[in-house]
Amino acid sequence: MTSFAQYRLTATGTLLGYLDGSWSVDRTLQDLSSGLSGTFSGIATFAPDDDGALLHSERGTLVWAGYSPAPATRELLWRAAGSAPSAEVFFPDGRYFHGLDLTTGEDSPVHQCAPDVYRGHFVLVDAESWRYTWRVSGPAKDLVLETRLRRMNETKSWGSGPPA
């Protein structure tokens, strides 16, 4: 039987097809060493570039440890990888960040950023939402970053479940 995640990705053709569009983003940030925390809320857009990759742009508001809200942005580049439910993610300067294979609906990539280690966990929740967590540990970092994304445009709906 086809898993729900595989059905969603099959409906779009690829992971990049599934991501294409606009998503609301809500992120919590916790610094476990200091006890400080914050939030980010905004919009993530995944838009095709001239090379067939998706430019992932986030724009929103960061509230950190009681300071005044401030604008915040982030960009990544997602490229198709070996199979339809897979992608490779890069920083804007072209450095490799991590691979992602969502064949089963979830994956746990690791990114070595010496001296720190980023351990991720990505989950396709349902047809219109997904989430991921990064656990960052190292000599100077002890962070948990939890992100939830929900599709914004109705035209990208991929159905409510696998075919019977």
If you ran DSSP here, which 8-state letter would residue 104 be given? T
Q: Say what the pTM is.
A: 0.85
Res 83: pLDDT: 75
Predicted local confidence at residue 35, as pLDDT = 96
**Closest listed residue to residue 49, CA positions, set 77, 23, 80, 22:** 77
Mean pLDDT of the residues in the chain: 87
Q: How far is the C-alpha of 100 from the C-alpha of 118, rounded, in Å?
A: 14
pLDDT in tens, 115-130: 999 999 999 988 789 9
Cα distance between residue 105 and residue 10, in whole Å: 12
